[in-house]
Homo-oligomer: A and B are copies of this chain.
Amino acid sequence: MPAKISELDQLVVVLVRPRNPLNIGAAARAMSNFGARHLRLVNPYAAGFREARSAVGASALLNNAQEFDSVAEAVADCSLVVGTTAIRNRALQDPVRRLNEASASAIRTALVSGRAALLFGSEKIGLTNADFTHCHWLLTIPTDEQNISMNLGQAVAVCLFGLSRNVVDEAISEQIEPAASGEIEKITQGLYEALKISGYVKPGNDAVSEKKVRRLMLRFNLQAMDAKVLLGMVRQIVWKLRQDAKGYPFTR
């Protein structure tokens, strides 16, 4: 009797800009092998996605896959977002953890109370730094240093095997509900506006700072309750800053 594999049914596998229909199909097959059900694609290469869907034996899972225009939208309902990367030594700003029981356990814990997303980048370049800003942390499969780049379908299979509990049932008791990414994004946007109005963000430097704010918010590991409070605070501050700005149209 296998370990309770259905614990991965709240896992969302997100393929970002996948191209090869065989890889999309392989990812879906691996998900089905390990009991994961939610496949999402961000800007898939259209022909590849059509081909994958029309392939003989394409699963219900593949036919139910959802398409999104951005990583932010694809992970909006997830309380934990983990990006995968082969790169271990690049100066990554985000924490990188190996795929092992400890990191798997962290993801399974998040799955007890909500959805968690596992992101895989395109075959050619993987996830970008911009994609990483949506991630709480990064996951890497320990591979031989001579050949760190895995095939996409195989990487999905290895990760899902690694996540499925194959020791024995460890007791999980976490009653903390983590904030959904969509809520954190609202805080990020609000705070970013406050920073613009207040002059913390300088014109021409916008992109850097928005990512910086998002990363910062993700590192807070906000609970749902706290996210609600923080969003209320940020919105009030933004409202006040806007009010003040209205009064001084010519001094700005």
A residues bordering B, Cβ < 8 Å? 2-3, 5-6, 22, 26, 29-30, 32-35, 88, 92, 95-102, 140-151, 153-155, 157-158, 161-162, 164, 166-167, 169-174, 176, 191, 194-195, 197-200, 212, 216, 219-223, 226, 229-230, 232-233, 236-237, 239-241, 244-245, 247-248, 251
Query: Measured between C-beta atoms, what is the minimum distance from A233 to chain B in Å?
Result: 6
Residues of chain B within 8 A (CB-CB) of A219 are: 223, 226
Residues of chain B within 8 A (CB-CB) of A172 are: 88, 96-98, 140
Given contacts A162-B161, A195-B236, A236-B199, contact A169 B98 (CB under 8 A): yes
5 sample A-B contacts, Cβ–Cβ < 8 Å, listed by A number: A33-B141, A33-B144, A95-B174, A98-B172, A102-B170
In the complex, the count of this chain's copies comes to: 2
Query: Measured between C-beta atoms, what is the minimum distance from A121 to chain B in Å?
Result: 16
Query: Measured between C-beta atoms, what is the minimum distance from A184 to chain B in Å?
Result: 12
Residues of chain B within 8 A (CB-CB) of A148 are: 33
The complex places the Cα of A99 from the Cα of B29 at a distance, in Å, of 19
Residues of chain B within 8 A (CB-CB) of A248 are: 244, 247
Residues of chain B within 8 A (CB-CB) of A140 are: 172
Query: Measured between C-beta atoms, what is the minimum distance from A208 to chain B in Å?
Result: 12
> B33 touching A147 by the CB < 8 A rule?
yes
Q: A221-B221, A247-B247, A247-B248 given. 13 additional CB < 8 A pairs?
A: A2-B88, A2-B145, A26-B153, A30-B154, A33-B141, A33-B150, A33-B154, A194-B237, A198-B240, A237-B241, A240-B241, A244-B244, A244-B245
The complex places the Cα of A36 from the Cα of B251 at a distance, in Å, of 58
The complex places the Cα of A32 from the Cα of B2 at a distance, in Å, of 29
> A173 touching B32 by the CB < 8 A rule?
no
Query: Measured between C-beta atoms, what is the minimum distance from A226 to chain B in Å?
Result: 6
> A173 touching B96 by the CB < 8 A rule?
yes
Residues of chain B within 8 A (CB-CB) of A251 are: 247
The complex places the Cα of A153 from the Cα of B150 at a distance, in Å, of 11
Given contacts A97-B172, A102-B170, A226-B216, contact A154 B26 (CB under 8 A): yes
Residues of chain B within 8 A (CB-CB) of A221 are: 220-221
> B35 touching A144 by the CB < 8 A rule?
yes
10 shortest interchain CB distances as A-B pairs: A244-B244, A198-B240, A154-B157, A35-B144, A200-B236, A220-B220, A2-B142, A32-B147, A33-B143, A158-B161
Residues of chain B within 8 A (CB-CB) of A212 are: 229
